[in-house]
């Protein structure tokens, strides 16, 4: 295999196991996102992880780290389930409103970052 092609294959393989996703800043219809509940044009308030089908609401608890301007929640060991399960990130918009997006199956760890004052939330996974 030519060195250039080998390098391209390695880069694509690494990218397939990583994801960095920003939450939509407001509750609205966004392609690729599933809406759960209802909100009235509310700003994003937090982000997190769920496993399994969305209708079972398998919310995960992570390890929190609070800083002055943001909060981070780390979700580790996501591949330690007996069977492969669906992995979802979600963005919260008030009490009962979430938007969820499915993550690649091979994701092992994610960190959700929430900046409430800025109305921003994102999740980085590998």
Strand partners of residue 35: 99
The predicted structure's pLDDT at residue 7 = 27
Asked whether residue 15 carries a pLDDT value surpassing 60, the answer given is: no
Give the residue, 119 or 11, on which the prediction is more confident.
119
Q: What is the mean pLDDT of the chain?
A: 81
Distance CA 98, CA 86 (A): 17
pLDDT of residue 25: 87
Contact 99, 60 (CB under 8 A): no
Whole-structure pTM value: 0.78
Question: How much is the pLDDT for 87?
Answer: 92
- pLDDT-derived band at 16 (thresholds 50, 70, 90) equals low
51 neighbors 58 (Cβ within 8 angstroms): yes
The C-alpha atoms of residue 106 and residue 119 are separated, in whole angstroms, by: 29
Give CA–CA dist 27/1, Å, rounded. 48
pLDDT tens, residue by residue, 34-67:
999 888 668 898 899 999 888 888 888 888 888 8
């Amino acid at each position: 295999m030519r060195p250039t092609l080998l390098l391209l294959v390695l880069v694509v393989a690494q990218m397939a196991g990583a994801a960095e996703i920003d939450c939509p800043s407001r509750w609205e219809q966004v392609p690729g996102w599933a809406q759960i509940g209802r909100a009235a044009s509310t700003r994003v308030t937090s982000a997190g992880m769920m496993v399994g089908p969305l209708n079972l609401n398998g919310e995960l608890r992570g390890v929190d780290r609070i800083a002055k301007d943001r909060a981070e929640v780390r979700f580790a060991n996501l591949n330690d389930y007996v069977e492969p399960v669906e992995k979802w990130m979600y963005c919260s918009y008030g009490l009962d409103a979430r938007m969820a997006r499915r993550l690649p199956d091979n994701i092992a760890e994610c960190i959700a970052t929430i900046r409430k004052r800025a109305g921003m939330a994102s999740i980085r996974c590998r």
